[in-house]
Structure 1
Amino acid sequence: MGLDLTKIDRVKTITKEDFIKNYFKPQKPVVIENFVNDWPAHSKWSLEYMKEVAGDKTVPLYDDRPVDFKDGFNEPHATMKMGEYVDLLKREPTKFRIFLWNVLKEVPILQKDFTFPDFGLRLLKGLPMLFFGGTDSYTFMHYDIDLANIFHFHFEGKKEVILFDQKQNKYLYKIPHSLIVREDIDFSNPDFDKWPALKKAKGHITHLEHGNVLYMPEGYWHYMRYITPGFSMSLRALARNPSRFGKAMYNIFIMRNYDNLMRRIKGQKWIDWKNEQAIIRTNKENKIA
């Protein structure tokens, strides 16, 4: 038995009106398969092309090691030249991923390859972010600090995505004062003996291929696993729901600073306490002895 996951709707293309009515207003995820076919990026963007235009750029790399109190917020675990990193991805499986890499700032020429689509939401123009990963590398289940509406455009290769909405929090072993769940949960093959509350969680699943766009509604949890090497670009629009927008402001200005302060004061004990609390609170909420 696996997680209770329903397949995310897939459409070939969509009008702004249909997107707003059927997906944005009900806050429902969707994959649009052919939305960016007219972008130059659709025919140009590949790992080899990234090596060509950004090969000499030093990029931040992350792996799947657990959070350490000495790590700053989103601090990379290693760095490498983009050309070397692409070679590594093509040569062998690696846990190293690129995370939140700002295209506009780092490689301005890439701006000419895409346009900001009109989904009826105001996209943040300064924040197109790229994400890269090798075979079987994955991101921990997490949600974004600003609880934004996210449009995730995938290029090259294949990627598995599992989503949960915020109503599933009580089943996910969420870490307090944080945006992640327990990092030792394998969402591609969860151990229900160890994590029994997960059986009650209801989520969504899909696979992304070159040119697909995934819409992730406000504050959705997401776990992404690269089945083959590839990369994606995310564009975002601020949360419209007032309570989610308020939560985003709290996360950015209070929660993140409080967590960093406690790491400095208590060190690893703070991380260990939070991990323990994730189990205690989830078990309590679900009446698990």
Structure 2
Amino acid sequence: MTDGNTSWDQGNISYRIVDVISLKTCDKAAFCERYLQPGIPCVIEDLVTEWPAFHKWDKDYLKQTCGGTRVFFHHETEGRTDFARPATQTTLSDFMVRIENGEPIRFFSPAHPVYDFVAGNPIFTDDVWPRTFAHLLPGGRFIGLDRLDARFWPWLPPFPPQLYVANAGSLSPGHYDEDLSHTFHCCFWGNKSVKLFADDPRSRNAMRYLSDIDLSQPLDSIHLKRHPELAGLSGWSAWLRPGQVLFIPSRMWHWFKYEELSLAYVVRARSFNSWRAYSEFARGPQGPPNTFPTHADLWRRVSWRERGLWGNLLVTFERPIILGTWVVMKALYLYFLESGRRRRVVSWLAERWGPSRVGRKTL
């Protein structure tokens, strides 16, 4: 296992090397204590090497088994995804040929059934064993669902498993996963470099600025002049290789650079099991009231037969559904806000008058 205390400075940013661990020497209890609970990233070197997908999913195999599958992609400009242009639809086989030829394109997937070619192909479920991650996660269910169950997205995290293919030199802009999930980034082929930073409200503006910068290069004086808070910033750095899995804790900002043509399978796990934490997710950027308009717009692009019950309901009653969802989420927020206030009032009374003066009924 590498020493995560090893660090160096790169243009006024201090980086620690991400630990590389083996499941042979790091069990579930140790993983939760050292990495998951304190929110520290790590690279797991023997978690997916036994998966059939790791040995079978080369470019030729994907073309032969599911080459006719519909996929959507975006063009890239200087390594960055060009979301200003609409997504282009083609087959997986054509996409693989074009990306092998060096065309600057990459998959685009908003975790929506119209775009999710992974869920519709048996090899993407039969050749992977996502339950592997359950052996590393703490127990607990939320409304009957375990941490890896993505069936209720976008009502409830986690974001469904996704496949990512990117060309050499492509950058994945730095970002937070707004569904608040823990992320397991499984690298099947192609080396990539990663930079990670813990969530800190004091540096969020700086992180938004860094999202469009190539962090493999030192920051220059222009960057530091615009954002002085970048000086002294501390994070983690990793080099991810085929067969390795990068664990990204919930709320951690992360940035990727694909050094080679790369394929990764990404699995997310819900980080919470409480209604209080759910109310925080629901009010965030990927909460249902903010996600439903995008989903409704995507459903409108396909026939009513393809939409299914939920898609047709959302298209037909978009505004009432969004309004009703917003009311429910607001009520949850106010309930937990008020319960917090009640506890503070009871605590204040107990300190002022003593436990004997504050009846059990009040609590």
- TM-score, with length taken from structure 1: 0.75
In the alignment, the residues of structure 2 paired with residue 255 and residue 20 of structure 1 have an alpha-carbon distance, to the nearest angstrom, of 32
In the alignment, the residues of structure 1 paired with residue 14 and residue 273 of structure 2 have an alpha-carbon distance, to the nearest angstrom, of 27
State the AA in 2 paired with 1:204: W
Question: Which residue is equivalent to 1:85?
Answer: 95
Question: Which residue is equivalent to 1:7?
Answer: 17
Cα displacement (A) at 1:216: 0.4
Q: Quick one: structure 1 residues 245 and 204, their matched pair in 2 at CA, closer, same or farther if it must change by over 3 Å?
A: farther
Q: Quick one: structure 1 residues 241 and 22, their matched pair in 2 at CA, closer, same or farther if it must change by over 3 Å?
A: farther
Q: Which has the bigger relative contact order, CA under 8 A and spacing at least 6? A: 1
In the alignment, the residues of structure 2 paired with residue 12 and residue 182 of structure 1 have an alpha-carbon distance, to the nearest angstrom, of 32
Secondary structure of 1:240's aligned partner: coil
Secondary structure of 2:43's aligned partner: strand
Question: Which residue is equivalent to 1:211?
Answer: 243
2:123 to 109, 118, 136: 109
1:176-195 alignment runs, 5 A limit: 181=209, 184-195=212-223
Q: Quick one: structure 1 residues 56 and 79, their matched pair in 2 at CA, closer, same or farther if it must change by over 3 Å?
A: same
Is the 2:119–2:125 Cα contact (8 Å) retained in structure 1?
A: no
Instruction: State the 4+ residue runs in structure 1 displaced beyond 4 angstroms.
Output: 65-68, 241-246
Cα displacement (A) at 1:159: 1.3
State the AA in 2 paired with 1:158: N
Give 5+ residue unaligned stretches, structure 1: 176-180, 261-289
Cα displacement (A) at 1:230: 1.4
2:186 to 153, 157, 174: 153
- Compare 236-245 and 33-42 and name the one that shifted more: 236-245
Q: Which has the greater radius of gyration?
A: 2
Q: Quick one: structure 1 residues 77 and 174, their matched pair in 2 at CA, closer, same or farther if it must change by over 3 Å?
A: farther
Q: Does residue 95 of the first structure (1) align with residue 104 of the second (2)? A: yes
Is the 1:5–1:202 Cα contact (8 Å) retained in structure 2?
A: yes
In the alignment, the residues of structure 1 paired with residue 30 and residue 161 of structure 2 have an alpha-carbon distance, to the nearest angstrom, of 24
Cα displacement (A) at 1:229: 0.6
1:1-289 alignment runs, 5 A limit: 1-2=10-11, 3-13=13-23, 14-62=26-74, 63=76, 64-65=80-81, 68=84, 77-92=87-102, 94-100=103-109, 102=116, 104-115=118-129, 116-117=131-132, 118=134, 119-121=136-138, 122-126=147-151, 127-167=160-200, 170=203, 173-175=206-208, 181=209, 184-196=212-224, 197-240=229-272, 245-251=278-284, 252-253=286-287, 256=290
What's the C-alpha RMSD, in Å, of the aligned pairs? 2.8
Cα displacement (A) at 1:239: 2.3
**Alignment: residue pair count:** 248
Secondary structure of 1:166's aligned partner: coil
State the AA in 2 paired with 1:90: E
In the alignment, the residues of structure 1 paired with residue 202 and residue 91 of structure 2 have an alpha-carbon distance, to the nearest angstrom, of 38
